[in-house]
Amino acid sequence: MAQAYSAGLTVTDNIILRKERVLPLKGEVLVQKGDKVKAEDVVAETLLPGKVVPFNLANKLGVTPAQLQNFIKIQPGQQITKETVLAENKGLFGTGLFKNVVYSPVDGEVENISSVTGQVLLREPRIPVQVKAFIDGVVTDVIPEEGVIIENKSAYIQGIFGVGDETVGELKVIAKSPSDEIGVGDINDSCKGKVIVTGACVSYEVIEAARNHGVAAIITGGIDDQDIKRLLGYDIGVAITGHEKIGLTIVCTEGFGKINMAQKTYDLLKQFDGHKTSIHGRTQIRAGVIRPEIIIPLDFEHEELKAPEAAVPVLKPGTMIRVIRQPHFGRIAKVTALPEELTKVESETMVRILEAEFEDGTKFSLPRANVEVIES
Amino acid sequence: MQYDEKRLTRIVATDCGSTTTKAILIEWVDGEYRQTIRGEAPTTVEAPLNDVTKGVINATNELEELARLKYNNPNIKFMENGEFVIPRNGDIGVDAYVSTSSAGGGLQMMVTGVVASMTGESAERAALGAGAIVMDLIASNDKRMNHEKIERIRHLRPDMILMAGGEDGGTVKHVVEMAELVSGADPKPRLGAGYKLPVIYAGNVEAQEEVKKTLQDKVDLIVTENIRPKLETENLGPARDKIHDLFMEHVMKQAPGYNKLMEWTRGPDHENVPIMPTPAAVGNIMQTIAREENIEVLGVDIGGATTDVFSVFTDEHIFNRTVSANLGMSYSISNVLASAGLDNIMRWVPFDINEGELRNMIKNKMIRPTTIPFLLKELVLEQAIAKEALRLAFIQHKDFASSLKGMQKQRDISEAFSQSTSGATIVDMMSLDLLVGSGGVLSHAPRRNQTFMMLIDAFLPEGITQIAVDSIFMMPHLGVLSEISTKAATEVFRKDCMLYLGTCVAPVGRSKIGKQALHATITLPDGKVFDEHIPYGELRLIPLGVGEVAKAHLKTSGGLTLDSNKSKELDVELHGGTVGIVIDTRGRRPFGLPTEKAQRISYLKKWMRELKVYPEEILA
């Protein structure tokens, strides 16, 4: 086989990005097609339905569900406060003595009244939700009542794993090389609000220092599993992340353990040192994969916003690859051949392999599944 | 519609898993159906491709290339212009294309009932039997406050909800109350905001009208027969069929590229062959084996994200399936570590390894799920993790596969002294006839002896049990193929899929290491006799080929037993396989490993060496 499909993460200094920014429920879009927006701008907002409070009114009143309709003072859709009487009975023999009056436990709205169960559902006031642009760019489409599509030209890096939600800050490369490992002393007040680059690894102590100095986000090659556990207070079982409230966002570009940041990734970050950067740690490795993103918006003309069709990363002789599992984890090489036959590797597994050459000329072979294509 | 070899001579079947898309070619060759070629490619539900059919094309390309090589015919082609050519015309095209799928997280459901252990459990059984992952069971008596239940329903975002509750003529109030909670939560489907969430109501027939009134404006309500019409009767079929219909109509259409894939899956007359959820297809096959051979079967399919356990036990062939949604070998591997604990994984590893290194290795597999162990050490570690994933999934299965709870049971005098109660597990390892493994780590283990050991260490079969494996992972494919050709599916299953590894003989009971446990006299087909007094705490491997049968006289010592009748002496026939007969005197009820590390490693090495599980260099 002369070539084969291979998965890979995107690292590029120039991409046309298209981001859908939509509300969780229908609401109001605040911008128009053609508007230029900043990452911090609110583009759409809505009111989420408030919390539902089930309330067994028949029980409270001491009547059967079927009798409830004789005493009820509210109807579905009615606005209520804690002073609203939901139901009252007429007291002993209709005299008003020992009259039982039930007030609403919450402010809000009546959702439903059931004569089968005697239960009323009350809904608390709506909760406002806003969606921000997240990236500087142009609104190229409006989805009525739902949100917008924002496009821009960016330098773009997909991370492999992250924690923490969307944030924006100025890029600050602290690591002096992809293999560097910065210390607590490297973090100071100049890092406040910044997206910092730490090199091959970031320790728990450095993360703590970053939090204390108000760092917005950390970009690192690797991170130790135990440091993540300490940071979150639990072990990550399934990689669905991004919702953590830990005071900052962390994006790993390579994986777990100390792993040199890919030279290309480091060089790209270094090139854009000081630029405004949008970043999130959201990772979901099943059911519609999501990877963390580092987005550095560039200046562009509107005509440039033509996204090329998604290219399929392909392995063929000459393709540059990065090894993504032991042995040689993290090293860069060039494919020299793609033998068709299944080949037995050290573990005795029969796999399709590729033959490749490191920069120093050393030759090796590996399962095709254990490399990713580096886009040129 | 069923077809035979006149209309079906070449079929491509795929299984779109969460990690890889596996394609097989089935052909009518020399008067029989055989599985001839296999190809695979990464599943493409991830950006930038976001289209499951790309993975199908890639896997089929590999099939085409291998077919050209195999038949030395450069003209063979199954697809043209990126689509299957149906029917076959000479070298070009296939007569049918069928597929199963668990990509995109499979089918995720929430179920409700009135009493969790009765109608709730029946609803759960129906959902699981249909191939779903059950995200939560919400019941009137589950001790959560109503507002907590509403929050939970809102938060979950399932693909669909199955509501059960009340026997016919029983409680209406509790069923309607649950409908009110669902209505209040106003749940949204996980995929696609443009349609209403499908909710199947399969509860008390007398509550149907009230449930309709409560729910029909908010959700897409489908009413079907009661799942538990009487306390002592379960009627899972109608609800299960509705789940399958909705899976196709709603869920699959939302996943990237599935609209296209659904149009591709066609038989010889261009009729659509619905895509089946992978576990439903595997369940079909397991039930067929049990029915046709009249045996008790326990099967497992361990995938990247989930582990499914299937069983058919008792004379009535009661089928149960459980899915452990977060136990798997890639996406969920880290959760196996979190659930089992590091010590439980390390107890299967015959060498020492730095804890941090192992933890990071597991996490890296989680985030790069398609990678393969190149190093022998990593293979051993992955197989140790697999044993724990299988063990944990089996514990969940045993709890779930029980007789119906809440039934009045009349007992005779012999039962009065036993512990059996309504709701006790029906999984009996002593009466089990066949244990079948499937899924990447079992089907693709470099040595079949590794598969044998993973299965016996995880499931601890008792007495005499045949062990088999899905040779190259094709049970899902055959499960869906049987929809258009039972003949093709059955033939390929017997000849190419089901690979007998051999038989495990494991006396039950506790004894002391080194003490006499079993005297085995086994007469092999060539007349040779294996005769040994095997001490407690040992493993023995006696080679016996596929299709061969040996006559054995087994006699235990020290109170150990060999079957459900507590026999201590037995004359039996033992069936061979690619591994052979394994005699396991390591004990059952309890099975234990030495707790002291050096001693444990020494025992593991001895057992692994005896079973020829790993190359000598790692056991030295």
Query: A272 to chain B, minimum CA–CA distance in Å?
Result: 24
Q: Test A161 with B335 for CB contact under 8 angstroms.
A: no
Q: Report residue B206 CA to chain centroid gap.
A: 37
Overall fold of domain A160-291? Glucose Oxidase; domain 1 (3.50.30)
Tell me the chain B residues in contact with residue A346 when contact means C-beta distances shorter than 8 Å: 374-376
Interface test with A, best of B307, B367, B473 (most A CBs within 10 A): B367
Tell me the chain A residues in contact with residue B615 when contact means C-beta distances shorter than 8 Å: 348
Contact B47, B119 (CB under 8 A): no
Q: Would you say residue B420 has pLDDT above 50?
A: no
CATH 3.50.30 in chain A: give the residue spans: 160-291
Q: Would you say residue B518 has pLDDT above 70?
A: yes
Compute CA distances B405 → B228, B230, B410, B418, whole Å: 11, 12, 14, 17
CATH 2.30.30.30 in chain A: give the residue spans: 314-373
pLDDT at residue B253 in the model: 64
* Closest Cβ opposite residue B184 in set A52, A238, A324: A52
Residues of chain A falling short of pLDDT 70: 1-8, 92-94, 96, 286-289, 307-312, 375-376
Q: Would you say residue B510 has pLDDT above 80?
A: yes
* Closest Cβ opposite residue A225 in set B184, B339, B360: B360
pLDDT at residue A55 in the model: 87
Phi, psi of B280 (to 5 degrees): -65, -40
Domains and CATH numbers, chain B: 10-95+267-272 (3.30.420), 104-254 (3.40.50.280), 281-406+425-619 (no CATH)
In this prediction, residue B411 has a pLDDT band, given cuts at 50, 70 and 90, of very low
pLDDT at residue B10 in the model: 96
Return the closest-CA partner of residue A374 out of A352, A356, A351, A353.
Answer: A356
pLDDT at residue B26 in the model: 96
**Mode of pairing for the β-strands spanning B539-542 and B580-584:** antiparallel
Q: Would you say residue B252 has pLDDT above 90?
A: no
Overall fold of domain A52-123? OB fold (Dihydrolipoamide Acetyltransferase, E2P) (2.40.50)
Q: Would you say residue B423 has pLDDT above 70?
A: no
Query: A95 to chain B, minimum CA–CA distance in Å?
Result: 32
pLDDT at residue B102 in the model: 76
Q: Would you say residue B418 has pLDDT above 70?
A: no
Q: Test B372 with A238 for CB contact under 8 angstroms.
A: no
Tell me the chain A residues in contact with residue B105 when contact means C-beta distances shorter than 8 Å: 286-288
ipTM beyond cut 0.85? no
* Closest Cβ opposite residue B210 in set A6, A116, A288: A116
Query: B316 to chain A, minimum CA–CA distance in Å?
Result: 37
* Closest Cβ opposite residue A117 in set B177, B305, B615: B177
Query: B170 to chain A, minimum CA–CA distance in Å?
Result: 14
Higher pLDDT, B122 or B155: B122
User: Kindly report the CA angle at A183 between A180 and A188, in degrees rounded to 5?
Assistant: 120
Give the number of A-B residue pairs with CB atoms closer than 8 Å.
187
pLDDT at residue B92 in the model: 95
**What radius of gyration, in Å, describes the C-alpha atoms of chain B?**
25
The CATH number fitting domain A314-373, selected from 3.30.420.280, 2.30.30.30, 1.20.140.150, 2.30.30.790: 2.30.30.30
**Residues with Cβ < 8 Å from B25, sequence gap 6 or more?**
B10, B11, B12, B35, B36, B37, B38, B63, B67
Return the closest-CA partner of residue A292 out of A263, A256, A254.
Answer: A254
Higher pLDDT, B11 or A68: B11
Reported as a single tens digit per residue, the pLDDT across A3-37 is 555 566 788 888 889 898 988 777 899 999 999 99
Burial of A68-97, coded b for 16+ CB within 10 Å and e otherwise, reads: beebbebeeeeebeeebebbbbeeeeeeee
Contact B234, B241 (CB under 8 A): no
pLDDT at residue B232 in the model: 78
pLDDT at residue A211 in the model: 95
Q: Test B180 with A114 for CB contact under 8 angstroms.
A: yes
pLDDT at residue B404 in the model: 65
Query: B338 to chain A, minimum CA–CA distance in Å?
Result: 6
Q: Test A237 with B367 for CB contact under 8 angstroms.
A: no
pLDDT at residue A146 in the model: 84
Interface test with A, best of B191, B360, B379, B473 (most A CBs within 10 A): B360
